[in-house]
Amino acid sequence: MSTRPPKASYDLVLLPGDGIGVEVISDARALIEAIAPKLGVTLNLTEIPCGGKYFLDHGRDWPEGSEERCKAADAILLGAVGWNGPDGQPVAMPDGKMAGWNPVIGNRMRLDLYANIRPVRCLPGTKHGISGQFASVWQPDKVDMVIIRENTEGLYSGIGERDAARATDLRVITRRASERVIRTAFELSRQRGRGAPADKKKRVTCIVKHNVLQGCRLFLETFRDVAKDFPDVEQDVAIVDAFSMFVLTQPERFDVCVTTNMFGDIVTDLASVLQGGMGMAVGCNVGDDHAMFEPIHGSAPPLAGKDRANPMAMLLATGEAFAWLGRRYSDERLAKGHAAIEAAVSAIIARGEPLTADLGGSAGRAAVAAAVREETLARL
């Protein structure tokens, strides 16, 4: 990433979307508005309504001109999209795409946000909820990996067709898109420098199904080629089905993992279990010139309007946006904001309250978001 001098002000676009996306974006806004004056940084926030509910009301999933506003922003924060129509099914647009496609997958493709970088850590004090019981299952010092998902092609390339009897979805894998995301993975392993928790070795694990799929053969071949430029980083290959077991039973083996679009979508939801669930998991959609940060969860319609969503993933995603902008513009103020948000969330998890129900607590979303704000401010 090419770096530039700090800017006088930064323009952030907020895309609330649907359901709990709207709620957690309001928490992100409140956090930014609280800490920006203390950091001495001006952040101009522009909110663009979007998603399935917006489509039902307006016949399109975001207002005209939104593409340009996202393109002009220094960074984008996304809540989550997805709303059910009167028939109880997720709202789809006339072209068959989900309503909310434009702000999420559309932005990833148009802004060439080719790497979806998903850190997976288990903060000390995390209680894992399994069958309604809460216990510390995974050891925090054994979970510290990053899963990088190719974000612009694969099974989500949007190419396919369907009639009453047959449907196809074309999985496009190109050497160009594979190479840049794999290179990102090797560079990240080098930057992190701490390797996998088990043996401290810098390692990139390529998650594929190359025994069956042509696209995975090309992805793996590209991985082998890129790896030649990183002799200090160990190459590792995992078949996606076996990886799905090892990520939960031996998470300490993994440092940085890289995979294709849909495999990455699925294995990162699975890996979120190590973190305490979807309410803790962040996705950084990053390209060479643009970036969009989001919780990996969806709009969770059953939780919407009930003050029950865990806002921490969205607030950690906000921290990641600060970190990315801080690196891009060599702006220490934003790096400081990132560190304070991370430390605030860690302190609350370690203390064990206030937490939402997904982490075994009984607090509401707003109370948790207020605690993160307070703890962040206390660190600035």
Ligand X SMILES: NC(=O)c1ccc[n+]([C@@H]2O[C@H](COP(=O)([O-])OP(=O)(O)OC[C@H]3O[C@@H](n4cnc5c(N)ncnc54)[C@H](O)[C@@H]3O)[C@@H](O)[C@H]2O)c1
Q: How many other C-beta atoms can be found within 10 angstroms of the C-beta atom of residue 31?
A: 24
User: Which of positions 321-360 make contact with ligand X (CB under 6 A)?
Assistant: 358
Query: Quick one: 120 or 220, whose CB is closer to ligand X?
Result: 120
Task: State which residue, 294 or 342, has the beta carbon closest to ligand X.
Answer: 294
Report if residue 197 touches ligand X, rule: CB under 6 A. Answer: no
Q: Output 83 or 219, the one with its CB closest to ligand X.
A: 83
Q: Is 297 in the site for ligand X (CB under 6 A)?
A: yes
Residue 111 as a binder of ligand X (CB under 6 A): the answer is: no
Shortest gap between Cβ of 283 and ligand X (angstroms)? 8
* 22, 117, 216, 300: which one binds ligand X (CB under 6 A): 300
309 binds ligand X (CB under 6 A): yes
Provide the minimum distance between the beta carbon of 82 and ligand X in the complex, in angstroms, as a whole number.
Answer: 2
Check binding of 104 to ligand X (CB under 6 A): yes
Q: How far is the CB of 301 from ligand X (least distance, A)?
A: 6
Least Å from the CB of residue 40 to ligand X: 31
**In the complex, minimum distance from the CB of residue 144 to ligand X, in angstroms, rounded to a whole number:** 22
Report if residue 80 touches ligand X, rule: CB under 6 A: yes
Residue among 247 and 304 whose Cβ is closer to ligand X: 304
Query: Quick one: which segment of 58-66, 111-119, 162-170, 293-301 binds ligand X (CB under 6 A)?
Result: 293-301
**107 makes contact with ligand X (CB under 6 A):** no
C-alpha atoms less than 13 angstroms from C-alpha of 149 in its C-beta half-sphere = 27
Residue 82 interacting with ligand X (CB under 6 A): yes
Instruction: Select the residue interacting with ligand X from 107, 260, 268, 299 (CB under 6 A).
Output: 299
Question: What does the binding site for ligand X look like in residue numbers (CB under 6 A)?
Answer: 17, 20, 80-82, 90, 98, 104, 278-279, 294, 297-300, 302-303, 309-310, 313, 358
